[in-house]
Amino acid sequence: MSFSNDRERHNDEVVREHKAALARGEKRVLRNTKEGGLRSYPADEIGFSPGRGQPQVTTWWGMGILFCFMVLLGLGTLVVLFAVLASGGAAPAPMGAPKHHKGADAAGAGSRRPARPPRRPPSRASGPFPTPV
């Protein structure tokens, strides 16, 4: 019971200080901490809003690390995009996939299944309904 009473007294004191700071014209935000108590944050403090169960960034070092990670991710995306465009638009082969040799003939020599004959366009007479005589 005393732990709950101590927390309530602490929360009441934080709320009083928060209201006094707002009356002085300060921009502040009142949030719950991980321990369950209240804390009054300055509104311009660097960091994302505290939340439950998700990663939080509250320092400028953390913001810098996130920024560098996002820049590297963007550069990696651009490298892959330009690699695909430079190879003629074909996606790069996955690692370990057999390479296509230019010496293979049109019938697909060396492929596992035989080449198919070209498709013929359907004639007008074919279809699900019989043709009138």
pLDDT of residue 19: 93
53-102: per-residue pLDDT in tens? Answer: 566 777 888 889 999 999 999 999 999 998 888 887 666 667 776 666 55
Q: What is the dihedral of CA 28, 29, 32, 35, to 10 degrees?
A: -40
Token readout for 5 is: 């009473």
Residue 117 counted as domain residue: no
pLDDT of residue 83: 87
Residue 75 counted as domain residue: yes
How many domains, the chain? 1
Arithmetic mean of pLDDT over the chain: 76
Residue 131 counted as domain residue: no
CA–CA dist 4, 13 (Å, integer): 14
Residue 108 counted as domain residue: no
Percentage of the residues of the chain whose pLDDT score is greater than 90: 21
The 8-class DSSP code of residue 113 comes to S
Residue 118 counted as domain residue: no
pLDDT of residue 20: 93
Question: Domain range spanning residue 49?
Answer: 8-86
Residue 14 counted as domain residue: yes
Reduce the secondary structure of 27-94 to three states and give it as a string: CEEEEECCCCCEEEEECCCCCCCCCCCCCCCCCHHHHHHHHHHHHHHHHHHHHHHHHHHHCCCCCCCC
